[in-house]
């Protein structure tokens, strides 16, 4: 292919405008005005060129994005070396490849360069990357350029460390082999090429912009591979409407952006400013934006920098990538915003090991309340977006507390609609809870199906969900075996909680260890030794809930009671709960590490008073010490021993309104952590080279609130084997969270026994 004449993709201004601006407010310095507040940059000089506002450049400036230290090559007609807007902005390596000096005699190159890096000096206008360096390379002296001259200019840019090359020129006949080789060598060297789409108002971009999304195929690409380092740029006006002269995206749409290119203000040959139109002047806006991205996010690859501008662009026209506006309008605010906040660093650099944010969570059991959610230290940690850029994230949003029980778990724990009970000679008693269960129930493996005649019937979906077998153990004692029963059901008689029957959830106030396991299997023995001593012993195990990762483990329980007076009983209970994968039903994952489990010891002191034949008073205080097991290392580690407590006071009245009913009033505090400490090792800072810095603090994991519950429960027999149970609970600071609204729960249930 022979040489082709190339023309600057610009429209010469018809008028000259000289503007003098006064700096409204002074911000922090550095890099030609980096840093500072939005008012520091939203000056008359900034507002003089509406294009800067349309692409949200203020966000970049307010985040120290100025292009400082990045060299942008402008392959054009040269530059006005005497223009005050370029003082300190022109590289000493600037040169001409067509003879003579780099001094502009046409004006087009000066206009293009102004859009990129005109100084922020309180006069006229400033470029989008006002601290970038311009490597001006003259490749022509008029409105046409030759392929070989452009190629020579690109080669010069590559060998003089340009990181971005702006080509505000275009033609329709393709590129010759020399120019294609120069373009290929540039992108191979990780240089980003930004090229204007053309002013021919055609369906396709002109060359070389049309090559922007080539990946080495045939056709117009002719083997050229842009390697994701090339951007074609079209023009829109101040209303984001397509410019009347714009050459569209068409088959280059996936690598095509638009930027303001109608009546934009820029520098002019001889000094001052001028208003111009053309894709020649939308292209340098994108080139300058690339310089800002490379400067502000130095760990990005050039491919990532280009992709960032594509993915953050403001969508125009048809939804998504289209053949007119391509990927959309350049949007620096979008580029500076986190793109796909995706991971928490666990390594020493932003490209090192990390864990998805969505996989990192702490689920605290209700005993911990709002403990971690109240820690400011977790409020600003380093997270990485989809481009491995560091952003601050409030990690407290990844801490999930448990809802307070308020009696609902015990009330809803009945798994079936019918209880079948039989009593054999000698006091042996058998009961089974039978009912319909969904086909996907995790307990189906325990199921036995029964027909009306008691034989297995595969056509019915009734099955035994829980079994209770008890037998006398002497005259005043019992031994029981339970399968798939709640801990409270297995341990109620062991702990002497039978007076609390009909008050759902109150067993968790009187015996908080029962709240840490789910339904399971167990053996219990309980009764009286002589006239004054009550004893109880039980063991049970529960399987881990696969959905929550909690509820599994074992409970060993012993209890003794002494009837000190005819109407008073003192009690002492000791329980040990082993949780293999949680602490007080808490677990963690991802960057937090995983909790290794815990061994908790519960000591409960109780006093029960019989006020009269129908009325009794129950009180208890539980102290707990938990020894956490080492888990995997992560943001939370090195847990110390945990202390907690609970207390309760209950009043029960039998035959309150009619024979056989029971009225209960309970005031209690559920299990609450009073002392817990852990090491929090969090990423708190990152530098420009991508190093991640961590800080370790010993933090308290204790709630700042205290839940106090008041419950009223009523149970009444409606008929033989038919009972009605109801309750209402109100909670102050539910979940031990002082910010939580008052909690309330209520329920009514009918039980039928056969």
Q: Residue 601's pLDDT is what?
A: 97
Active site residue 280: yes
426 found inside a domain: no
141 found inside a domain: yes
Residue 396: φ, ψ to 5°: -65, -20
345 found inside a domain: no
Active site residue 483: no
How many angstroms separate the first and last alpha carbons of the chain? 96
Where would I find the H helices in 297-420? Answer: 302-312, 332-336, 408-412
Q: Using CA atoms, how far apart are residues 8 and 575, in angstroms rounded to an integer?
A: 85
Domain that holds residue 144: 5-336
Q: Residue 488's pLDDT is what?
A: 87
Q: Residue 128's pLDDT is what?
A: 98
315 found inside a domain: yes
SS (H, E, C) 84-130: HHHCCCECCCCEECCCCCCECCCCHHHHHHHHHHCCCCCCCCCCCCC
Low-confidence stretches of the chain (pLDDT < 70) are 1-39, 405-427, 429-464, 499-504, 549, 752-754
> Could you tell me the strand order of the sheet in which 692-700 lies?
636-637, 677-686, 692-700
Nearest Cα residue to 669 out of 363, 366, 364, 412: 366
Give just the sign of the alpha carbon dihedral 694, 699, 704, 709: positive
558 DSSP β-pair partners: 537, 574
Q: Map tokens 């000190």 to a residue.
A: 564
Structural domain tally of the chain?
1
- Catalytic residue, chosen from 4, 76, 83, 322, is 76
Q: Residue 256's pLDDT is what?
A: 98
Catalogue the E-assigned strands of 399-505: 399-401, 418-423, 429-436, 462-472, 477-485
- Catalytic residue, chosen from 131, 196, 280, 402, is 280
384, 342 in Cβ contact below 8 A? yes
Q: Residue 26's pLDDT is what?
A: 21
Q: Using CA atoms, how far apart are residues 217 and 354, in angstroms rounded to an integer?
A: 36
Rg (CA), the chain: 38
Q: Map tokens 């109880």 to a residue.
A: 536
Q: Residue 543's pLDDT is what?
A: 87
Q: Residue 426's pLDDT is what?
A: 63
Q: Residue 752's pLDDT is what?
A: 65
Residue 626: φ, ψ to 5°: -115, 135
Active site residue 76: yes
Nearest Cα residue to 587 out of 393, 409, 354, 401: 401
Q: CB neighbours of 618 closer than 8 A, spacing ≥ 6?
A: 499, 500, 510, 606, 607, 608, 609, 648, 649, 650, 651, 652
330 found inside a domain: yes
Q: Residue 716's pLDDT is what?
A: 87
345 DSSP β-pair partners: 354
697 found inside a domain: no
- Catalytic residue, chosen from 108, 126, 485, 736, is 108
705 found inside a domain: no
- Read off the CATH number of the domain in which 112 is found: 3.40.50.200
Tokens describing residue 678 = 């852990």
In this structure, the number of other CB atoms found within 10 A of the CB of residue 329 comes to 23
């Amino acid at each position: 292919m022979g040489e082709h004449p190339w023309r600057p993709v610009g429209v010469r201004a018809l008028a000259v405008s000289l503007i003098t601006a006064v700096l409204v407010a002074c911000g922090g310095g550095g890099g030609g005005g980096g840093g500072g507040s939005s008012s520091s940059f939203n000056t008359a000089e900034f507002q003089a060129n509406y294009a800067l506002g349309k692409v949200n450049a203020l966000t970049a400036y307010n985040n120290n994005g100025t292009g400082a230290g990045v060299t942008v090559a402008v392959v054009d007609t040269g530059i006005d070396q005497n223009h005050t807007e370029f003082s300190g902005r022109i590289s000493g390596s600037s040169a001409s490849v067509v003879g003579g000096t780099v001094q502009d005699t046409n004006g087009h190159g000066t206009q293009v360069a102004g859009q990129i890096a005109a100084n922020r000096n309180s006069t006229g206008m400033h470029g989008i990357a006002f601290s970038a360096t311009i490597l001006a390379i003259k490749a022509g002296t008029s409105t046409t350029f030759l392929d070989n001259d452009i190629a020579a200019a690109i080669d010069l840019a590559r060998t003089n460390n340009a990181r971005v090359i702006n080509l505000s020129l275009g033609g329709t006949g393709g590129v010759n082999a020399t120019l294609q080789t120069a373009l290929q060598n540039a992108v191979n060297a990780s240089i980003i090429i930004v090229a204007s789409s053309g002013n021919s108002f055609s369906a396709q971009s002109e060359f070389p912009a049309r090559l922007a999304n080539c990946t080495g195929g045939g056709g117009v690409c002719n083997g050229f591979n842009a390697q994701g380092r090339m951007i074609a740029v079209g023009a829109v006006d101040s209303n984001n409407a397509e410019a009347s002269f714009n050459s569209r995206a068409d088959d280059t749409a996936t690598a095509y952006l638009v930027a303001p290119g109608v009546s934009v203000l820029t520098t002019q040959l001889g000094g001052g400013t001028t208003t111009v139109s053309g894709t020649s002047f939308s292209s340098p806006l994108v080139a300058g934006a690339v310089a800002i991205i490379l400067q502000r996010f130095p760990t990005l690859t050039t491919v990532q920098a280009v992709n960032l501008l594509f993915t953050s662009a403001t969508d125009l026209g048809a939804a998504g990538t289209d053949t007119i506006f391509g990927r959309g309008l350049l949007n620096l605010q979008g580029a500076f915003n986190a793109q796909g906040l995706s991971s928490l660093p666990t390594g020493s650099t932003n490209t090192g090991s990390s864990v998805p944010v969505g996989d990192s969570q702490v689920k605290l059991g209700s005993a911990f309340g709002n403990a971690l959610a109240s820690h400011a230290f977790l409020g600003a940690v380093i997270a990485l977006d989809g481009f491995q850029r560091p952003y601050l994230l409030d990690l407290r949003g990844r801490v999930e507390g448990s809802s307070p029980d308020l009696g609902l778990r015990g009330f809803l724990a009945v798994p079936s609609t019918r209880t079948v009970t039989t009593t054999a000679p000698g006091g042996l008693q058998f009961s089974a809870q039978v009912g319909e269960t969904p086909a996907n129930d995790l307990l189906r493996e325990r199921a036995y199906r029964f027909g009306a005649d008691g034989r297995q019937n595969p056509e019915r979906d009734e099955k035994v969900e829980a079994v209770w077998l008890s037998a006398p153990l002497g005259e005043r004692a019992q031994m029981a075996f339970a399968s798939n029963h709640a801990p409270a059901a297995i341990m109620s008689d062991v702990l002497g909680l039978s007076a609390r029957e009909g008050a759902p959830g109150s067993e968790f106030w009187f015996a908080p260890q029962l709240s840490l396991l789910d339904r399971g299997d167990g053996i219990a023995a309980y009764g009286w030794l002589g006239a004054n001593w009550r004893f109880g012993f039980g063991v049970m195990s529960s399987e881990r809930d696969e959905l929550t990762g909690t509820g599994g483990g074992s409970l060993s329980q012993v209890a003794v009671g002494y009837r000190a007076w005819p109407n008073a009983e003192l009690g002492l209970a000791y329980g040990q709960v082993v949780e293999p994968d949680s602490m007080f039903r808490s677990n963690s994952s991802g960057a937090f590490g995983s909790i290794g489990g815990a061994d908790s010891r519960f000591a409960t002191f109780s006093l029960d008073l019989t006020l009269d034949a129908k009325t009794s008073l129950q009180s208890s205080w539980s102290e707990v010490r938990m020894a956490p097991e080492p888990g995997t290392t992560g943001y939370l580690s090195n847990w110390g021993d945990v202390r907690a407590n609970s207390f309760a006071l209950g009043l029960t009245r039998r035959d309150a309104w009619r024979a056989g009913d029971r009225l209960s009033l309970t005031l209690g505090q559920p299990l609450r952590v009073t002392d817990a400490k852990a090491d929090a090792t969090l990423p708190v800072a990152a530098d420009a080279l991508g190093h991640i810095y961590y800080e370790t603090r010993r933090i308290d994991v204790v709630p700042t609130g205290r839940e106090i519950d008041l419950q009223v429960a009523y149970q009444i027999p409606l008929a033989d084997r038919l009972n009605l149970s109801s309750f209402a609970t109100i909670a102050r600071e539910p979940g031990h969270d002082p910010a939580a609204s008052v909690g309330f729960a209520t329920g009514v249930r009918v039980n039928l026994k056969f």
